[in-house]
Structure 1
Amino acid sequence: MIFGVGTDICDVRRIQASLTRHGERFAKKILSDAELATWQRRSTRHGDRGLRYLATRFSAKEAFSKAIGLGMTLPMTWRRCEIASLPSGQPVIILHGELKTWFAERGLSAHLSVTDETDYAASFCVVEK
């Protein structure tokens, strides 16, 4: 049974403006420790790849927060929701702390799709019970 559906489109230029304005502090607010390490590696090698990585994570977390019906209110936080990839490249959601407990107590599972182009990142999330 579908519990919720969420979608989000993010303007990569808006993410760039936030990075310019707030520096790495912005990325640290949005990304888990593992995501932050990946973002730093990608940004060092090729800045545009790092920027799009950050935009896709932002978009995916927004879509997930909509699918669970919480938005960005507790127990949902940016850093408690981590977007990782299986070896195949399929994106998966890894939850931490109170959000992981909240999600498990409801017997939920999530399916996620992310994509990006030069100026936009988009995500779609379906949460099942």
Structure 2
Amino acid sequence: MILGLGSDLCNIDRIQASLDRFGARFENRVFTEVELAKAKRRPFTYAATLAKRFAAKEAFSKAVGTGFKRGVFMRDIGVVNAASGAPTLTLTGGAKARLDALVPHGMAARVHLTMTDDLPWAQAFVVIEAIPALPEGGRPE
């Protein structure tokens, strides 16, 4: 069952302007260390890499229905890559608590994320799905 859907379109030039104006203050307020490390490995597309992640955070906040209110903060939402290389989200603090509150008993959340960019735009979509939870021990019965 689908619990939430969110999308966001972010202007890469706007992220670059924030980087130019606020530098590390902006980076540390919005992005996780993992996200910043990934962007630093892409010096020619640094702002675009961060803009996609900014859009993913916005899309998640819409998918859980709060925006950045009720304890959901940007740094609590981190874009990471699964072993397959596919992007997904890691959640902490209020973002994790909000997601956990949406999931029905006996279910677990699966977060789907897709991101793209084409100068001057970065875009992200988040789908939150509820799936049957595995029993304790992690194996289906």
- TM-score tier (shorter): 0.7 to 0.9
Aligned pair count reads 125
Partner of 2:113: 112
Partner of 1:40: 40
State the Cα RMSD in Å: 1.6
Q: Which one-letter code corresponds to 2:50 in the other structure?
A: L
**Alignment CA distance shift 1:87-1:109 (3 Å):** closer
Partner of 1:124: 125
Determine the C-alpha separation between the residues in 1 that align with 2:9 and 2:36.
21
Long gaps (5+) in structure 2: 104-108, 131-141
Provide Cα deviations, 1:12-55, integer angstroms capped at 9, x if missing partner.
0111111111112111111112222323343xxx2x32111110
Partner of 2:93: 97
Determine the C-alpha separation between the residues in 2 that align with 1:102 and 1:118.
32
Q: SS at 2:95's partner residue?
A: helix
Q: Which one-letter code corresponds to 2:74 in the other structure?
A: W
Displacement of 1:65 in angstroms is 0.5
With normalisation by structure 2, the TM-score equals: 0.80
With normalisation by structure 1, the TM-score equals: 0.87
Displacement of 1:81 in angstroms is 0.7
Which of 46, 67, 72 is matched with 1:50 structurally? 46
Which structure has more relative contact order (CA 8 Å, sep 6+)? It is 1
Determine the C-alpha separation between the residues in 1 that align with 2:48 and 2:84.
19
Determine the C-alpha separation between the residues in 1 that align with 2:101 and 2:66.
15
Partner of 1:60: 56
Partner of 2:133: none
- Runs of 4+ residues deviating >6 angstroms: none
1:31 paired to 2:31: yes
Partner of 2:70: 74
Q: SS at 1:126's partner residue?
A: strand
Determine the C-alpha separation between the residues in 1 that align with 2:94 and 2:61.
14
